[in-house]
């Protein structure tokens, strides 16, 4: 198998109110998501808040439990690991979070933050570890003196570089970037995106790039999946999805992206108003069955409330979950 | 092309403020310093009691019973002729020692248990917390009696009893902090890095609760002393003959009639040491929970206030949209300058900001964080956070200068004529009142409507901003609204008075892409209906392009470029504007190579570069750029605006 990561029909749920102990209802955060990431590839996952994209990333890191479905890393079933995660898997798969002020322990110096991971994965004498640490800092374009700093003493961009160094310390093969640049200013965001690209070219890392920002995802990924309310609704080649969206939700999402081109704004506004006007707001309440997008969908019909549309291939490089195509 | 590669290692951290630790701050407070010194003295005295005390505490001298202070016995003698001073000194050993031991035991045991149940959660947590609740419902003294009844009298059972009582307090704190910290991403990061669980609990999470634990310990040390003294006083604690402040007090009670002075030394010793611990604890709490440095202070969220008399004659301006003009609009901001005291000099967070806003138009202020765009909006409403001050410039609104207006006048303008909406709608609503109340009450007050009429109007407004089932949702609380709906409700609240000017500070930044577009489209529609002027503040070039007629690009407290939307975006005339646009990934651009970036970072307002503030990061900078400040000329604050061809982004 050539894929590094295979996610198959992954379903993740949470207890919905009532507390875990009373066995109440469960809220499904992700339903039957499937995708794969190749060696050295960046796979983009876009969606709005509550779409489940972050939950998928956390499940890959085993920070969430899968209720059903499987995750394979190099053919090994991650979902069958049991209570403890093998250290080798911890080494291979890492994560960079959105907000570096939260993902770096405010009480530790940068040096300690990095050294802990190095020591855990490469038990060596302290002197060697210092060298590894400095190499790591250099990789993310920081200097050795940054090791003596507390996270609060660094700028947002520098903190995110430390978070990336933290993820790289174990020499991973897959890094989940969960909104890794969303908290940064435009100029810093560009620096971090470039850095991630450079590291990929140099080290051959694969990324699962999760973001709500369609422009950033497109810049980073060759293939993407669009999520809506826990489901992947469209997936395929990024260029194809962006230039010729098939699923009604993808269309609405792309129409909502505000581009820095004032000339196009009236056309885009018209497009959005049209899509919204077509949406028939009363398609009944949301239930487990049926398409989650139907209440906002301009092309919803009675079938959409009854069965969830299956993923079907549209063209050679695209899969769409919509009854328009099934 | 510039690249981040060359940029990052050269970035200096000299301007990065070193976070001052709580211990530093503590030592800067005179009261705490005094308490620490006094406690150190007390501890020293206790430890070196045999060297300090003039007599042995048990040395009986029956000939000199119950004497007052004298040269031989500075604090007199007790009923057996023992030297009171020596007994107070030795008593510190027992009283302080027992308190320290019991609190230490409580801290170690309580914190560990609290951490563990907080980390394990689920059943463990539920059961343990019910037990803790039950224990805590028993008064501390009764609880101590029970333990002493079980184990027997004496200093050891007393210490144990106090330790058990206080362990409960530590369990609560440790569990509470653990539950909070577990949500933080660094715990996930540590888990993902493969660190073992005990390492995560004690190495990662524990250091983050040092603050609350230290505060609690200081306070509890005082309480422990009191409880131990109380138990000894009741004859349950330390042996009646032993030198201990509590039992000395008990002894003094018996001879109260004969020799009243006897109760004073031990009484004062207890009072003072408890006081020291409490003052120290309070100071620590202030430091750890109090506001940090003013420079980093964020504004307190201000609600979008509402409504009043409908606007009379509209001062519609229709002036040519000439970037140089600062007059003729409904709102004219001219030369606005705000300084914060930093060290000996002021830090200018805003420097000569001028623009005017015409009725029915949207003016965008765009810039990165720290550029001063939010400060501008706050200053317009006279809400500049302290210790910042408007040191120059004016804000003219309908013939009044708001920059010099008093609080009374400002209050009449805020919400009624100039309304404001924020990034976080939840911060603008009070969580304990329904949305309806928060829209209806100002309507009643300002528009002098009856409750029923105000309710109708409020429902209309919510309906107008696209909240479905508006009438029913009036009775919902803010938390029952989704982010997008709450943002709409806040817009409705801001519009109750039909303000002439709406200040929108990152109004859609927290929203999803599709919702953001809906809210912006809504604002556009409402603006056309109400002829309202909007000042839109954002970091998002896409949002500006989608909504604004004119735009001002801010950098380091100045407007560096201003003009008509399409002119600025199609043919930027300042290198910063151009760099900003290039650095933004476009969803129309395919999977691409490197993004052009802007080297370095925004200079802090207390350490601005000479000349043009952007020149250290500018690839077009020449010698002349570093000499003198560059004025805003013809809409651009760039010396080379004319000669550079900066089109084609």
Instruction: Please determine, for residue A83, whether its predicted confidence score (pLDDT) is greater than 80.
Output: yes
Please give the average per-residue pLDDT across A220-224, as a whole number.
93
pLDDT at residue A22, rounded to an integer: 53
Contact between B312 and B336 under an 8 Å Cβ cutoff? The reply is no
Nearest to B302 by CA among B422, B402, B407: B422
The chain-wide mean pLDDT, for chain B, equals 82
pLDDT-derived band at A199 (thresholds 50, 70, 90) equals: very high
Instruction: Please determine, for residue A10, whether its predicted confidence score (pLDDT) is greater than 50.
Output: yes
Asked if the Cβ–Cβ distance from A216 to B585 is below 8 Å, we say yes
Instruction: Please determine, for residue B5, whether its predicted confidence score (pLDDT) is greater than 70.
Output: no
Q: Which of B101-115, B567-581, B589-603 tops mean pLDDT?
A: B101-115
Nearest CB to A265: which of B545, B586, B598?
B545
Percent of chain A's residues with pLDDT above 90? 53
Percent helix, strand and coil across chain B, each rounded to 5? Answer: 50, 10, 40
Which residues, 6 or more positions from A254, have their beta carbon under 8 angstroms from its beta carbon?
A214, A242, A245, B587
pLDDT-derived band at A49 (thresholds 50, 70, 90) equals: confident
Instruction: Please determine, for residue B593, whether its predicted confidence score (pLDDT) is greater than 80.
Output: no
The residue length of chain A stands at 326
Please give the average per-residue pLDDT across B366-383, as a whole number.
88
Task: Give the DSSP H or E segment for B350.
Answer: strand B345-357
Q: What is the chain A residue with the closest CA to B210?
A: A107
Please give the average per-residue pLDDT across B44-66, as a whole number.
87
C-alpha to C-alpha distance for B496 and B251, rounded to whole angstroms: 73
pLDDT-derived band at B327 (thresholds 50, 70, 90) equals: low
C-alpha to C-alpha distance for B42 and B579, rounded to whole angstroms: 64
Could you give the C-alpha distances from B346 to A167, B349, B352, in angstroms and in order? 41, 9, 15
Contact between B524 and B549 under an 8 Å Cβ cutoff? The reply is no
More confident residue, A82 or B320: A82
Please give the average per-residue pLDDT across B363-377, as a whole number.
89
Contacts of A87 in chain B (CB under 8 A): 194
Instruction: Number of A to B CB contacts under 8 A, please give it.
Output: 232
**Widest pairwise Cα distance in chain A:** 68
Please give the average per-residue pLDDT across A202-212, as a whole number.
94
Instruction: Please determine, for residue B289, whether its predicted confidence score (pLDDT) is greater than 80.
Output: no
pLDDT at residue B20, rounded to an integer: 60
Nearest CB to A186: which of B9, B203, B583?
B583
Residue B289, classified by CB atoms within 10 Å of its CB into exposed (0-12), middle (13-18) or buried (19+), is exposed
Nearest to B439 by CA among B468, B407, B465: B465
C-alpha to C-alpha distance for A218 and A240, rounded to whole angstroms: 11
pLDDT-derived band at A295 (thresholds 50, 70, 90) equals: confident
Give the least confident one: B269-273, B275-279, B506-510: B506-510
Nearest CB to B595: which of A58, A158, A194?
A194
pLDDT at residue B101, rounded to an integer: 94
Contacts of B565 in chain A (CB under 8 A): 262
C-alpha to C-alpha distance for B385 and B300, rounded to whole angstroms: 8
Q: Tokens standing for B157? A: 């059972």
pLDDT-derived band at B302 (thresholds 50, 70, 90) equals: very low
Q: Tokens standing for B285? A: 């709490």
pLDDT at residue A16, rounded to an integer: 66
Angle subtended at Cα B19 by Cα B15 and Cα B20, rounded to the nearest 5 degrees:
125
Could you give the C-alpha distances from A106 to A100, A156, A180, B199, in angstroms and in order? 10, 13, 18, 16
How is residue B72 annotated by DSSP? S
Q: What is the pLDDT of residues A236-275, one digit of tens each?
A: 999 899 999 999 999 988 888 888 887 778 888 888 888 7
Q: What is the chain B residue with the closest CA to A249?
A: B514
Work out the number of other CB atoms within 10 angstroms of the CB of residue B60.
Answer: 15
Torsion B584-B585-B588-B590 (CA) sign: positive
Contact between A220 and A196 under an 8 Å Cβ cutoff? The reply is yes
Percent of chain B's residues with pLDDT above 70? 88
Work out the number of other CB atoms within 10 angstroms of the CB of residue A267.
Answer: 10
ipTM: 0.83
Instruction: Please determine, for residue B264, whether its predicted confidence score (pLDDT) is greater than 80.
Output: yes
Nearest CB to A262: which of B17, B122, B569?
B569
Q: What is the pLDDT of residues B336-352, one digit of tens each?
A: 999 888 766 778 889 88
Asked if the Cβ–Cβ distance from B579 to A103 is below 8 Å, we say no
Which residues, 6 or more positions from A8, have their beta carbon under 8 angstroms from its beta carbon?
A34, A69, A70, A71, A72
What domains can be seen in chain A, in order of their start residue? 3-240 (3.40.50.300), 244-321 (no CATH)
pLDDT-derived band at B240 (thresholds 50, 70, 90) equals: low
Specify whether domain B92-289 bears CATH 1.10.3720.10.
yes
More confident residue, A255 or A7: A7
Instruction: Please determine, for residue A212, whether its predicted confidence score (pLDDT) is greater than 80.
Output: yes
Instruction: Please determine, for residue B460, whether its predicted confidence score (pLDDT) is greater than 70.
Output: yes
- In DSSP terms, A70 is beta-bridged to A8
HSE (side-chain half, CA atoms, 13 Å) at B491: 31
Please give the average per-residue pLDDT across B245-265, as a whole number.
87
C-alpha to C-alpha distance for B459 and B481, rounded to whole angstroms: 15
Asked if the Cβ–Cβ distance from A239 to B590 is below 8 Å, we say yes
Angle subtended at Cα B39 by Cα B35 and Cα B42, rounded to the nearest 5 degrees:
140
Contacts of A49 in chain B (CB under 8 A): 483, 512
The chain-wide mean pLDDT, for chain A, equals 87
DSSP tally for chain A: helices H, then strands E: 12, 12
pLDDT at residue B290, rounded to an integer: 55
pLDDT at residue B291, rounded to an integer: 40
Give the least confident one: A116-125, A268-277, B351-360, B529-538: A268-277
How is residue B201 annotated by DSSP? I
CA distance B147 to chain A (A): 34
Instruction: Please determine, for residue B62, whether its predicted confidence score (pLDDT) is greater than 50.
Output: yes
Regarding beta strands B362-366 and B550-555, do their DSSP bridges make them parallel or antiparallel, or are they unpaired? Answer: parallel
Which residues, 6 or more positions from A285, have their beta carbon under 8 angstroms from its beta carbon?
none
pLDDT at residue B587, rounded to an integer: 60
Contact between B425 and B485 under an 8 Å Cβ cutoff? The reply is no
pLDDT at residue B501, rounded to an integer: 93
């Amino acid at each position: 198998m050539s894929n590094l990561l295979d996610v198959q029909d992954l379903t993740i749920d949470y207890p919905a109110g009532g507390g875990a102990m009373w066995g109440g209802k469960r809220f499904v955060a992700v339903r039957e998501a499937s995708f794969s990431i190749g060696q050295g590839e960046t796979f983009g996952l876009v969606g709005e808040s509550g779409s489940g994209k972050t939950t998928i990333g956390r499940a890959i890191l085993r920070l969430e439990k899968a209720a059903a479905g499987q995750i394979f890393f190099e053919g090994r079933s991650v979902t069958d690991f049991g209570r403890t995660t093998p250290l080798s898997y911890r080494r291979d798969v890492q994560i960079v979070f959105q907000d570096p002020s939260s993902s770096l322990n405010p009480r530790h110096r940068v040096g300690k933050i990095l050294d802990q991971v190095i020591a855990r994965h490469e038990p060596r004498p302290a002197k060697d570890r210092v060298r590894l640490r400095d190499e790591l800092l250099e990789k993310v374009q920081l200097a050795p003196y940054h090791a003596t700093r507390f996270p609060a003493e660094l700028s947002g961009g520098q903190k995110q570089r430390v978070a990336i160094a933290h993820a790289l310390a174990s020499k991973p093969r897959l890094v989940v970037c969960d909104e890794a640049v969303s908290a940064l200013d435009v100029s810093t965001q560009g620096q971090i995106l470039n850095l991630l690209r450079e590291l990929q070219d140099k080290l051959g890392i694969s990324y699962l790039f999760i973001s709500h920002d369609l422009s950033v995802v497109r810049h980073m990924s060759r293939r993407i999946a669009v999520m809506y309310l826990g489901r992947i609704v469209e997936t395929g080649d990024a260029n194809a999805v962006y230039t010729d969206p098939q699923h009604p939700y993808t269309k609405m999402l792309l129409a909502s992206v505000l581009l820095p081109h004032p000339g196009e704004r009236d056309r885009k506004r018209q497009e959005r108003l049209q899509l919204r006007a077509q949406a028939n707001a009363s398609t009944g309440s949301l239930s487990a069955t049926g398409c989650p997008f139907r209440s906002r969908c301009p092309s919803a019909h009675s079938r959409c409330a009854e069965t969830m549309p299956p993923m079907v291939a549209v063209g050679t490089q695209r899969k769409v979950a919509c009854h328009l195509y099934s | 092309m510039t690249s981040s590669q060359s940029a990052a290692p050269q970035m200096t951290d000299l301007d990065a403020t070193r976070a001052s630790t709580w211990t530093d701050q503590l030592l800067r407070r005179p009261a705490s310093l005094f308490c620490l010194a006094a406690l150190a003295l007390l501890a020293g005295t206790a430890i070196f009691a045999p060297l300090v005390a003039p007599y042995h505490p048990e040395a009986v001298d029956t000939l000199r019973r119950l004497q007052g202070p004298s040269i031989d016995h500075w604090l007199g003698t007790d009923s057996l002729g023992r030297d009171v001073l020596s007994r107070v000194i030795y008593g510190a050993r027992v009283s302080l020692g027992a308190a320290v031991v019991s609190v230490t035991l409580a801290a170690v045991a309580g914190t560990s248990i609290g951490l563990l149940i907080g980390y394990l959660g689920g059943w463990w947590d539920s059961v343990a917390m019910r037990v803790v609740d039950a224990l805590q419902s028993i008064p501390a003294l009764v609880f101590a009696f029970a333990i002493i009844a079980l184990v027997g009298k004496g200093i050891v059972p007393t210490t144990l009893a106090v330790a058990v009582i206080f362990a409960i307090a530590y369990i609560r704190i440790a569990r509470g902090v653990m539950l909070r910290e577990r949500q933080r991403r660094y715990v996930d990061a540590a888990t993902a890095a493969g660190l073992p669980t005990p390492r995560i609990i004690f190495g990662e999470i524990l250091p983050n609760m040092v603050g609350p634990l230290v505060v609690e310990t200081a306070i509890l040390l005082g309480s422990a002393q009191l409880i131990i003294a109380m138990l000894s006083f009741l004859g349950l604690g330390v042996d009646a003959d032993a030198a201990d402040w509590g039992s000395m007090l008990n002894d003094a009670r018996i001879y109260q009639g004969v020799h009243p002075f006897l109760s004073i030394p031990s009484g004062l010793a207890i009072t003072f040491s408890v006081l020291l611990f409490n003052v120290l604890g309070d100071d620590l709490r202030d430091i750890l929970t109090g506001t940090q440095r003013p420079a980093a202070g964020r504004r307190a969220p201000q609600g979008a206030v509402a409504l009043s008399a409908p606007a009379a004659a509209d001062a519609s301006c229709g002036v040519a949209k000439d970037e140089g003009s600062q007059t003729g609009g409904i709102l004219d901001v001219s030369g606005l300058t705000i300084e914060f005291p930093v060290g000996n000099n002021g830090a200018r967070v805003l420097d000569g900001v001028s623009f005017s806003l015409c009725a029915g138009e949207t003016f965008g202020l765009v810039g990165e964080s720290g550029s001063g765009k939010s400060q501008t909006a706050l200053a317009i409403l006279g809400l500049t956070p302290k210790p910042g001050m408007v040191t120059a410039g004016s804000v003219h609104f309908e013939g009044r200068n708001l920059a010099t207006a008093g609080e009374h006048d400002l209050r009449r303008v805020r919400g009624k004529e100039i309304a404001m909406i924020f990034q976080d709608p939840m911060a603008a609503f009070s969580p304990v009142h329904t949305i309806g109340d928060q829209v209806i009450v100002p309507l009643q007050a300002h528009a002098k409507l009856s409750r029923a009429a105000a309710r109708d109007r409020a429902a209309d407004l919510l309906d107008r901003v696209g909240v479905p089932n508006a009438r029913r949702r009036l009775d919902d609380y803010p938390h029952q609204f989704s982010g997008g709906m709450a943002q709409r409700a806040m817009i409705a609240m801001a519009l109750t008075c039909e303000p002439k000017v709406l200040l929108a500070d990152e109004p859609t930044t927290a929203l999803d892409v599709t919702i953001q577009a809906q809210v912006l489209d809504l604002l556009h529609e409402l603006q056309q209906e109400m002829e309202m002027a909007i000042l839109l503040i954002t970091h998002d070039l896409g949002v500006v392009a989608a909504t604004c007629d004119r735009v001002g690009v801010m950098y380091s407290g100045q407007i560096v470029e201003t003009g008509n939307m399409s002119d600025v975006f199609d043919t930027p005339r300042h290198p910063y504007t151009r760099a900003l646009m290039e650095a933004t990934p476009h969803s129309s651009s395919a999977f691409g190579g490197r993004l052009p970036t802007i080297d370095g970072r925004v200079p802090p307002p207390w350490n601005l570069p000479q000349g043009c503030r952007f020149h250290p990061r500018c690839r077009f900078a020449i010698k002349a750029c570093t000499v003198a400040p560059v004025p805003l000329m013809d809409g651009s604050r760039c010396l080379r605006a004319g000669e550079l061809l900066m089109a084609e982004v």
